[in-house]
Amino acid sequence: MMQKLAELTKLDGLSGNEQDVRKYIIQNLADKSLEHYTDNIGNLIVKGKTDGSSNLKVMVAAHMDEVGLMVNYITDDGKLKFSTVGGIDSRILIGQHVRVGKDKIPGVIGYKSIHLQDKNERESVVKLKSLYIDIAAKDRENAEELVKTGDYVAFDSEPVFFGENKIKAKALDDRAGCAVIMELLNEVWPFELYACFTVQEEIGLRGALVAANRVKPDVGIVLEGTTCADVPKVKEHEVSTVMGKGPSISFADRASIADRELLMHFFKTAEKEGIPYQWKTTTTGGNDAGKIQTSGAGVKTLVVSVPCRYIHSPVSVLDLNDLKNMLNLVSKALHTLPEALGR
């Protein structure tokens, strides 16, 4: 799973441009006999193996898309101005290496050197509109031969295994969830399992809605990478999750409130099996569960996440044990789900 995760993060799949991730998942499913289809907006839906012992229909979802940038203007001197795709902290952009467009033209995000900044500039945060991408084009004409407005821009950040069981990469949110679901598809389930690799989560949970409308599940489990602010100078009640303490289970966030029955079942499973877990201690953020829950006549949902430091940045970090425990918890809890729900 870890190697697959690393490979998944190498792929560029910004919202609306997820095809490389989708292709990778299809090509790397261990069981080639699984039925799968790609829907009208690009969601990949894979039907898991079932022994047919339960009439329950379960959707597990993880989004394929990642945050990044999009070229929106080319200047006379051949620099690329850009907008963000999804939520990006503009403070982290200066000095980053990026890849632009289909041809992955290498670029860097520049700002005039510190030597040339006045006092005010040295002390202020640079606004997004003052930043640009330099692809070493000679001028506008030369730049237009290489890229065009509307091109997606992804961070150039190779996965690195480091520290004690850590990985640094871009797009851990939510290739981590994708990697876990790929593992779940190796198992035989008592119910109908629909693995949904969704699109456009980062710009408003758009893929999950369409996928849920098609699948019409009884239960939706969303596997996410979530904020982990257990870093220096952050107050204890603000950390959301703590790295290394296991997958987090959310009571609620801005988009959905967990189904109490599912919540208790996952909690009891973790306790019974001795799997490390934690409660997400903040209710910020939102994810695909918001749309799945309100689809059709309503769906019971739960969000299980792997804590992810520096999320939405090219140097996101997660603990590999958290990911293993997430897979273990979700797998165990799903196998006993029909019993728990009396189905």
Cβ proximity to another protein: between 109 and 249 the closer is: 109
Residue number with CB closer to another protein (64 or 146): 146
- Judged by phi (left if over 0) then psi (alpha if -120 to 50, else beta), residue 91 lies in alpha
| H or E stretch at 8 | helix 2-10
CB 221 within 8 A of CB 298: no
Nearest residue (CB) to another protein, 132 versus 191: 132
DSSP secondary structure code for residue 309 in this structure: B
How far out from the chain centre does Cα 318 lie?
Answer: 12
- Residue 61, Cα to own-chain centre: how many angstroms? 11
Answer yes or no: 201 catalytic: yes
Q: Which of 340, 143, 178, 147 is nearest to 259 (CA)?
A: 340
The order of strands in the sheet holding 316-319 is: 160-162, 166-169, 316-319
Nearer to another protein, 32 or 233 (CB): 233
Q: DSSP letter for 163, please.
A: T
Ramachandran region of residue 118, left (φ > 0), alpha (ψ -120 to 50) or beta?
Answer: beta
Minimum distance of another protein from residue 255's CB (angstroms): 15
Please tell me which residue in 18, 183, 201, 202 is annotated as part of the active site: 201
One-character DSSP codes across 246-282:
--EE-SB-SS-B--HHHHHHHHHHHHHHT---EE---
Q: What is the DSSP letter of 149?
A: T
The smaller minimum CB distance to another protein, of residues 29 and 94, is found at 94
Per DSSP (E only), the strands in 129-286 are 132-134, 152-155, 160-162, 166-169, 188-189, 192-198, 219-227, 248-249, 278-279
What amino acid is encoded at 250 in this protein? S
Length of the chain: 343
Q: Which is nearer to another protein, 30 or 125 (CB)?
A: 125
Least gap, CB of 78 to another protein (angstroms)? 10
Smallest gap from Cβ 306 to another protein, in A, equals 15
The least distance separating another protein from the CB of residue 99, rounded to whole angstroms, comes to 10
Q: Tell the smallest beta-carbon distance from residue 264 to another protein (Å).
A: 29
Tell me the closest approach of the beta carbon of residue 84 to another protein, in angstroms: 12
Residues that bind another protein (CB under 8 A): 75, 77, 79, 89, 91-92, 94-97, 105-117, 122-126, 130, 132, 134-138, 142, 146, 156, 160, 162-166, 168, 227, 229-234, 238, 284, 309-311, 313-315, 317
Tell me the pairing of strands 152-155 and 68-74. Answer: antiparallel
Rounded to the nearest whole angstrom, what is the least distance from the CB of residue 253 to another protein in the complex? 12
Nearer to another protein, 32 or 115 (CB): 115
**What residues does 168 pair with on adjacent strands?**
160, 317
Nearest partner of 5 among 223, 194, 201, judged by Cα: 223
Residues catalogued as catalytic: 201
